[in-house]
Structure 1
Amino acid sequence: MASAPDNVSLPLFYNDLVLLSSQEHSNWKSRATDKATWLANVNTVPLTVEEFPLAQRNFPIVFTAGENPFPIALMGLNEGVNVFVEDDGNVPQPVYIPAYVRRYPFLLARVQPDSEEMSLCVDPTSDLVGELDEGQPLFDGNEPSESCRATLQFCEQFEIAGQKTASFMAELEKHNLLMDGELNIDVGNGQPFNYRGFRMVDENKLRELRGDILRNWNQSGLLALIYAHLFSLDLVRDIFGRQVEQGKGPAVPQPV
């Protein structure tokens, strides 16, 4: 099996990547699951802009720090804490599951670095694929099965959404709208919790943008995406409260 090159860092969740092949994986099946074991103990998940309207109902949406920022959903405020997914991967309450999570263990990748062509790959370490007793076959002879074609289509749609997200981020950076973020939660003892290490839209700069830019953004839907991000920040206190309720909150500092 052709593994991902050693010098290429693997994306979040993936332990290995191989090119899906009708020759080498002719007997493989994929199975559905109601437990996202790979999401347990993961507090941030990449988002595409198309998901903002749904994701904002459950998660604060922020942007990564450093070069090439991208949107992420905060499923917990502290590293290793996911308030929506239990340790065994069970999701006890209805919640929006980002597409990045749902495509696992598959993804589209460039097998040849100098080629623009992308091929369907899979993480062979996942228990959702392999020579399973139950599940949907990935191949029908030498051809992809209906299930495999549906998976490929989903991954292709995800890549298209990723391109739209990149264009959205380019607009934010073009107008210098991103600033270093800080979220403060006052627990009433005079020593609030401070969360940093992410970026967010600077509302002051947003208000100062020229009218024609805002009008174009309103017509294109980009302005609605920005406000979905800003409105979602109100959920930070809810996420913090869930952490405390589940016994996963940070230690409350005692007044000196």
Structure 2
Amino acid sequence: MTTDKVETAEAAAVQLFQQAAPLDPARHQDLKLDRSVGFAFARNQTAVPIVATEFAMAARDLPIVFAGEGRLPMAVLGIRSGENLLVGDDGAWVAGRYVPAHLRRYPFILQEDEAQQRFALCIDEAAPHFQSQDKGEPLFNDAGATPLVTEMLQFLGEIQGGFAQTQAYAAALVAADLLIERSAVVELKSGERVTLEGFFVVDEEKFSRLPIETLAEWAQKGWLPLTYFHLQSRLNWTHLVDLAV
């Protein structure tokens, strides 16, 4: 039997963004984004961070757990460390399964510029999306940034906005002492038993005993549906087992 751990949100980001640099019209004038490269870049992502606005969609297909110092939500994509069961040999995502925004936004990311108190749009210069100059969508033209850059800025802004709600929700779970550490023991079709640990889930019994006043507050803030989606997502471990060998 093997034992693996759910990676933190920070570790997932570090694995993806190997060479992040601020988007610069002079430096990146000739870059083109090739969207056809697929998701081979995410082949080693066992779990990735998600934000509150993704819970409804993610809960249909993926287990949602909490991990790291901030107990932030993660969507589990594999059972063994360094394994993403949603990416096929050809780099295509499994048809019909939800793709977390953390992966859909790649190779773009917002990084905080503390000196200017703002977020800067950055790209991973090492991303396979930028390796071809023969095909793809340009980031810049004679008029400046193309609509592609505007599109990604808007998408990243939505993710960043959802992150604030996500942090508040996770902090509320911690404050209410609702998160308990768990491990998933999975038996694969081959007979191998794998244990995935290092993650937290909502204690359903404690959650059911929350005071009426707290439940009303959480309902108003949209935190009750998030908890229900998380609890529902426990059924999705079988989806991962079906994809494993």
TM range, normalised to the smaller chain? 0.7 to 0.9
Query: Displacement of 1:137 after TM fit?
Result: 1.6
- Look up the match of 2:240: 239
Task: Report the residue type matching 2:174 in the other structure.
Answer: E
TM-score (norm 1): 0.83
Matched-pair contact (CA < 8 Å) for 1:22–1:141: no
1:51/1:91 CA distance change after superposition, 3 Å: same
Give 1:1-256 correspondences, 5 Å limit: 11-33=14-36, 35-65=38-68, 67-110=69-112, 112-129=113-130, 132-141=133-142, 143-185=144-186, 194-243=195-244, 247=245
Q: Secondary structure at the match of 2:200?
A: strand
Query: Displacement of 1:214 after TM fit?
Result: 0.6
In 2, Cα distance between equivalents of 1:17 and 1:186: 39
Matched-pair contact (CA < 8 Å) for 1:23–1:142: no
1:127/1:195 CA distance change after superposition, 3 Å: closer
In 1, Cα distance between equivalents of 2:53 and 2:93: 23
Deviations 1:83-138 (A, max 9, x none): 2211341224221100000110011112x444421111001111212671222221
Q: Secondary structure at the match of 1:82?
A: coil
In 2, Cα distance between equivalents of 1:151 and 1:58: 25
1:85/1:114 CA distance change after superposition, 3 Å: same
Matched-pair contact (CA < 8 Å) for 2:59–2:229: yes
1:237/1:131 CA distance change after superposition, 3 Å: closer
1:205/1:19 CA distance change after superposition, 3 Å: same
Q: Give the structure with the higher percent strand.
A: 2
Query: Displacement of 1:142 after TM fit?
Result: 5.9
Point out which structure has higher relative CO (alpha carbons under 8 A, 6+ apart): 2
Q: Secondary structure at the match of 2:30?
A: coil
Matched-pair contact (CA < 8 Å) for 1:43–1:77: yes
Matched-pair contact (CA < 8 Å) for 2:65–2:76: yes
* Count of residue pairs brought into register by the alignment: 234
Question: Which structure 1 residue ranges, 5 or more long, are not aligned?
Answer: 1-7, 248-256
Question: Which structure 2 residue ranges, 5 or more long, are not aligned?
Answer: 1-9
TM-score (norm 2): 0.86
CA-atom RMSD, angstroms? 2.5
